[in-house]
Amino acid sequence: MSKKRAVIIGATGAAGQNIVEFTAKHPWFEIGCLSASERSHMKTYREATQAAPFFRSMPPEEVMKMKVVGADHVDPRDYDVAFSALPSEVAKVQEAKFAEHIPVISTASAYRYEPDTPVLLPDVNPSHTAMIPLQREKRGWNGYVIPGPNCTTVGLVTTLKPLMDAYGVNILSMVSMQSLSGAGEKGLRADSEYRLNAVKNVIPLIEGEEGKVVKETNKILGSMVNGKLIDAEINVHATCTRVDVEIGHTEAVHLGLKEQASIDDVRDKLNGYKSEAQELELPSAAEQPIIVLEDDMPQPKRHGEYPQMVTLVGRLRGNKLWENGVSYVLTSDNLEKGAGGGAVLSAEYLLVKGLL
């Protein structure tokens, strides 16, 4: 197939740079335009990112030489798809302008909680793409906006999905230990006051994060009934903290299943989980999306030893907090499946399904 031309808006920030990494050599997409704020207009991408480069793998030279274009100078009709890594306060307006003409795959939270908008993880809730026609009709758009989850929610719902399918989940308590890169530029810049405060420290509150986890978990794990999304109604309690880790979120999860299950059965369900994304062999999908480990794993420092886009699970055991209690620890890469990689995976799924 011919490659789809993509415009990346918000390309100079941490999430935007991550999207660039995932699309620079992609077999199905090509970067047609890099867009950002007016202060970066007509700078090369190298110049626009040199003050705060967050690349884990430097994009090809032809990408670094591209001129960055201010968002107001971009005509969406010149492209097939937009990837958005805009700040949420800007995304609400700019993403709508692009969605009038083309699909927008977003890492921002601006549209996550709208009733006509799916929060998409192709290996968790692909059926929620059935909401796209409603969104188009309601808003009069030729395109649409598809946001991904908050990076904290990604690993959690990925591990909950096979357990929901097999046993159901009644109640859940989660404590996150989120990396500095999850805070974006303020967490990554060496001179940031926020980062300096986090060194050898734990910040016990991430403003607004806990509410996002509760809302998104129930929305993503909800069911489509007669074209309408019905939330999962899991009783979720979240505590979200920031820790002195560069990349990779860790979460301690304690839940109560609706049905009794042995820990061996739970382990098999997690390890054996396959979704439509795996069946379709999407380029960015992990062959095994969940890997259960033993001993002192998982650890964010060692998450990169495993395949891209996986969620690692360890410390799997029963708990006596609730009936049919299960506990585990997970790690998920917040700059990979939690940002650029997740957005590109969504675009791959939408393309294969004829929606892009």
CB within 8 Å of 163: residues ≥ 6 apart: 169, 255, 257, 266, 269, 270, 326
Q: Which of 26, 33, 128, 249 is catalytic?
A: 249
Tokens of 98: 């692009």
Considering 26, 151, 240, 303, which one is annotated as catalytic? 151
Q: Contacts for 314-321 with beta carbons within 8 Å, 24 or more apart? A: 315/252, 316/263, 316/266, 316/267, 316/270, 316/292, 317/263, 318/263, 319/254, 321/173, 321/254, 321/256
Instruction: Give the C-alpha separation, 324 to 201, whole Å.
Output: 35
Active site residue 151: yes
SS3 169: strand
User: Residue 256 is inside which H or E element, if any?
Assistant: strand 249-257
Please report which helix (H) or strand (E) contains residue 17, including its range.
Answer: helix 14-23
Instruction: Please work out, in degrees rounded to the nearest 5, the angle formed at the alpha carbon of residue 174 by the alpha carbons of 332 and 131.
Output: 70
Residue 237 annotated in active site: no
Question: CA dihedral defined by 82, 248, 155, 356, rounded to 10 degrees?
Answer: 10
Known catalytic residues are: 151, 249
